[in-house]
A and B are shown apart, each in its own frame.
Chain A
């Protein structure tokens, strides 16, 4: 396929078009506006619908409406806008409706600044709205992955009937990088569960977020949890870099994993046996990968927040070795040199058992 240069935000939009998504609802907010613009420019050419909703709240409800018809649909925003959508995202999960939500995170809390951050990790992977549910959450680290993981998000959303999320940041969103365009997907099969009457069935189907009886509500929860266990078993995705002989490992996702790669290469040249574990899915968290490297004596989780994914790393490691944290919220970006100094300090400081 054709190779070109694209911004990360545009790559998500282009991938959505190639995945057959013809409905976009959203409200502008930096640093993800290139995505909204790409959809505004291109959806009309594909007989699709681009609608700038009056609010993020309304946009999310439109998402629910289209998803109930079985069509591929998406929205995008940045941190405070995603917070506004949480009620409806919970409804989507409960009604088992696939839809893609893109969060190009700002440095919060509150309105925040447009500086890049990863401080919405908890919101993305722990549910975000009310009730017991999870989204499948992807963390692209390149413009190519912005494209490929968007394609995958639509595919897995349909497969498991669940909302999915791309969690990015302002750097990955606004940087341009060489990218190979994904093959367009043609969707032929009609989903059996769509709302309303259809010629191929003799009943009017309902798509509702809450069943009518207490018993059914419990059953729904059992079914959702079975689905989530299946996703955890099948869909963990991770990149392990120079891990086979590593005695120490960095754990990082998104843009921070790129900065950590530079740190790993530099430290390897100096003789440090360091590797990198990069979660590609944040939920399900790729916990299985950690069991593959029992020789690792310690971890450093690096994040652009005050320490969120580090909790999942600690759960995966389960006390076997120390798990350290390095990071800051509000727009801090760790330089490879700083990561290197931190790792060297731990490895030389006798903090390893």
Chain B
């Protein structure tokens, strides 16, 4: 098993946190994992992306050039990374903030209105966790209990009150993606 992820958006969207949750879920399921941040100097508003590798074997390159799975949180990131996704890979797009299309017919594209879903549950900051939930359904490498344990591990001590909110957002993401797939709605380009 080998998964190479690229998670990209701007600072403040919880990109790096989402990547860490994924990496920890990998660790807790006995895999080898790496996580690399890459972000601009701004805490909020600058570009942010991180690369996560989860593997049965020792991770070769921790730098991800052609991800199996890309989680794209804004339009500039789509323009920057859209072409790099591995053929037969998957792209999850935060559709609230991306009005453009990804012109690829060799990958599966899933549009998730994660921001709207998060706002509906009263926690606009949790769009990243909605995306993570959708990922769990679309590419079921981990089960919910592993993600739950990872969220608890990664959340710093002064943010413990967010654990429940974040886990609820994960569940919303799972539900949305399940409906999307079971309801026959799957946005596929080309």
Contact = CB atoms under 8 A, between A and B. Distances in A.
Interface residues of B, number: 18
Nearest to B37: A174
A261 B59 CA distance: 10
Tell me the dominant secondary structure on chain B's binding face. mixed
A1 to B, nearest CB: 14
Nearest to B31: A178
B23 interface: yes
How big is the A interface, by class? 10 to 19
A184 to B, nearest CB: 22
A31 to B, nearest CB: 11
Interface in B92-151: none
B165 interface: no
Interface in B23-38: 23-24, 26-27, 31-37
B27 A4 contact: yes
A5 B65 contact: no
Interface in B20-67: 20, 23-24, 26-27, 31-37, 59-63, 65
A261 B61 contact: yes
A4 B26 CA distance: 11
B60 A177 contact: no
B60 A176 contact: no
A176 B63 contact: no
B143 to A, nearest CB: 19
Interface of B: 20, 23-24, 26-27, 31-37, 59-63, 65
Given A177-B32, A178-B34, A261-B60, 10 more contacts: A5-B23, A5-B33, A174-B36, A176-B20, A177-B35, A178-B32, A258-B60, A261-B61, A336-B60, A336-B61
24 contacts: A3-B27, A4-B27, A5-B20, A5-B33, A171-B63, A174-B37, A175-B62, A176-B33, A176-B36, A177-B32, A177-B59, A178-B26, A178-B32, A178-B33, A178-B34, A259-B60, A259-B61, A261-B60, A262-B60, A262-B61, A333-B63, A335-B63, A335-B65, A336-B65
